[in-house]
Amino acid sequence: MSHANAALTPRARLRLAKLVVEERWPPAIAARMFMVSPVTARKWAARYRAEGSAGMTDRSSRPHSMPTKTPPATVKQIVQLRWRRRLGPAQIAGALGMPVSTVHAVLTRCRINRLSRIDRVTGEPIRRYEHEKPGSMIHVDVTKFGNIPDGGGWRFTGKQQGDKNKAATAVRTGRTQKGHPNIGTAFLHTVIDDHSRVAYVEICHNEKADTAIAVLQRAVAWFADHGVTVERVLSDNGPAYRSNAWRDACAELGIQPKRTRPYRPQ
């Protein structure tokens, strides 16, 4: 496929080259017919003589040699200073005695121009992974949110009306304690497929093992209805996921349970 700024498509180049080479048209007249310069017409004619129809395709614009390219040894020094000492482009340039723009270009090519892309512990670039098929691995976790009172919270309605809504909701749900309204917490049990990133979410009243197991069972059934067979489940080290009940439930479902390393949320 021709690039966006090309004046001629490969088919038009071939027609132009044949007019010059086979039909002996002057390059200037053939160029005028296709609204290009004579230099362009002579270029495609020369390629047609040398390579035939195969020479009409686009070629890479990358130069054959780059004398000013940063040497590999210098690139290695820049990368090491970035990984080991977390130095910025200006600091690395000062240490190596080279322009800041060159250092920044090297960091960008190596995809380490942002410290957020580097693992805090190892200093290596963060490698995102994705399992090969849906169901090969699912991730489970629990997120906590305060319940929203009937009619909206104070961020939406204002402090005065929000407090009234909160008090009314607490009375309706029977959560008022010593004059302090409490509308409780919602526990979002999330199940995400690693390959497709499709999420199954349930709002529950707690994060106990029985609740987590019930959510997992319903999530596995939901994925099965969509033609996906769950093989592994990855969780953090919460009490529900470290329990024997969770292990036994995974065994009954034919799923291999896995847990992340402690204190490694990334």
Tell me the per-residue pLDDT of 3-41, one tens digit each, with 9 for 90 and over: 666 778 889 999 999 999 999 999 999 999 999 999 999
Residue 206 domain-assigned?
yes
User: What pLDDT, on the 0 to 100 scale, is given for residue 46?
Assistant: 94
User: What pLDDT, on the 0 to 100 scale, is given for residue 121?
Assistant: 63
Q: Tell me the mean pLDDT in the region 166-186.
A: 76
The whole domain housing 79 covers: 72-117
The answer to whether the CB of 241 falls within 8 A of the CB of 226 is: no
194 lies in the same domain as 163: no
Structural domains counted in the chain? 4
154 lies in the same domain as 247: no
Q: What is the mean pLDDT of the chain?
A: 87
Distances in Å between the Cα of 200 and the Cα atoms of 72, 80, 203, 233, 253 are 47, 42, 11, 13, 17
Residue 94 domain-assigned?
yes
137 lies in the same domain as 157: no
45 lies in the same domain as 156: no
Residue 215 domain-assigned?
yes
The H helix count followed by the E strand count for the chain is 11, 5
Of 148, 208, 155, which Cα lies nearest the Cα of 184? Answer: 148
pLDDT, tens digit, 9 for 90 and up, residues 33-92: 999 999 999 999 999 999 999 989 888 878 888 888 899 999 999 998 988 888 889 999
Q: Name the DSSP class of 234.
A: E
Residue 63 domain-assigned?
no
Cα atoms in the 13 Å half-sphere on the side-chain side of 102:
15
- Quick check: pTM over 0.85? no
201 lies in the same domain as 137: yes
Q: Spell out the long-range contacts of 49-57 with Cβ–Cβ below 8 A and sequence spacing 24 or more.
A: 49/21, 53/14, 56/10, 56/11, 56/13, 56/14, 56/17, 57/10
* 99, pLDDT greater than 80: yes
Residue 30 domain-assigned?
yes
Residue 213 domain-assigned?
yes
Residues in contact with 139: Cβ distance below 8 Å, sequence separation at least 6, in sequence order: 190, 191, 192, 194, 233, 234, 235
210 lies in the same domain as 258: yes
